[in-house]
């Protein structure tokens, strides 16, 4: 059982902050994936060529950029958790909040871009199990 249960109104009051935080998290997550893919492609290029010259400065810059982006993601997720949310999917920007519905614990489900809380789902269900409030 969760320590705190939220009402739809309480979560609705958090939407402006959630929107800003999750927007930053999603952008940093996507950019970090792009940087990692660029590094993976470079490793593959060198491997397929049987060796090669690595641009160490570019590699180091990408590594530092990825590390900074990961820190931004982690910081944003910590802020969401501090608000009482449970981040679920960074691609979709999903955050769940514990809620009591009919005496049973469920999750209120918010998706980045939604302007109000309209959905809930059971604890063993996910985004595809969302039901209207």
**pLDDT tens across the length of the chain (133 residues):** 778 999 999 999 999 999 999 999 999 999 999 999 999 998 888 887 777 777 889 889 999 999 999 999 999 999 999 999 999 999 999 999 999 999 999 999 999 999 999 999 999 998 999 999 9
Contacts of 113 by beta carbon, 8 Å cutoff, 6+ apart = 19, 93
What pLDDT, on a 0 to 100 scale, did the predictor assign at position 55? 82
What pLDDT, on a 0 to 100 scale, did the predictor assign at position 48? 77
What pLDDT, on a 0 to 100 scale, did the predictor assign at position 122? 95
Measured CA to CA, the distance from residue 112 to residue 120 in angstroms comes to 15
């Amino acid at each position: 059982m969760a320590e705190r249960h939220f009402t739809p109104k309480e979560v609705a009051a958090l939407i402006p902050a959630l929107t800003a935080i999750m927007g930053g998290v999603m952008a940093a997550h996507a950019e970090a994936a792009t940087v990692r893919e660029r590094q993976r492609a470079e490793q593959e290029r060198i491997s397929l060529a049987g060796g090669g010259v690595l641009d160490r400065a570019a590699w180091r810059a990408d590594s530092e950029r990825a590390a900074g982006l990961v820190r931004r993601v982690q910081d944003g997720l910590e802020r969401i958790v501090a608000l009482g949310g449970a981040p679920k999917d960074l691609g979709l920007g999903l955050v769940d909040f514990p809620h009591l519905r009919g005496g049973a614990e469920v999750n209120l489900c918010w998706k980045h871009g939604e302007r109000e809380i309209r959905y809930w789902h059971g604890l063993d269900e996910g985004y595809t199990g969302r039901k209207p409030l």
